[in-house]
Amino acid sequence: MYVCNCNGLRQRDVALAIEAGACRPKDVFDRHQCRPQCARCVCEMRQMIDDTRQSFALAAE
């Protein structure tokens, strides 16, 4: 499923960027050498980043 239609970024692409250390949507775009176009994907990316952080926090306990 696409997260960013403008740049063709799929959930897997975003997840890999987050695993590589992306902490902000800007980091995701930088990793894939693109820029936000319409920015509709930014909220979903933020949610994915937050979900990943929560998962890591729970795993660390």
- pLDDT score of 9: 98
pLDDT at 57: 83
- Model confidence pLDDT, tens digit, residues 33-53: 999 999 999 999 999 999 999
Lowest mean pLDDT of 3-12, 30-39, 48-57, name the range. 48-57
For residues 12-34, average pLDDT: 97
Answer with the residue of higher pLDDT: 59 or 36: 36
Residue 25: count other Cβ atoms within 10 Å of its Cβ: 22
* CB 33 within 8 Å of CB 4: no
The closest alpha carbon to 42, from 12, 61, 6, belongs to: 6
Contacts of 44 (CB under 8 A, 6+ apart): 3
State the architecture of 2-60 in CATH terms.
Orthogonal Bundle (1.10)
Supply 56's token pair. Answer: 């890591």
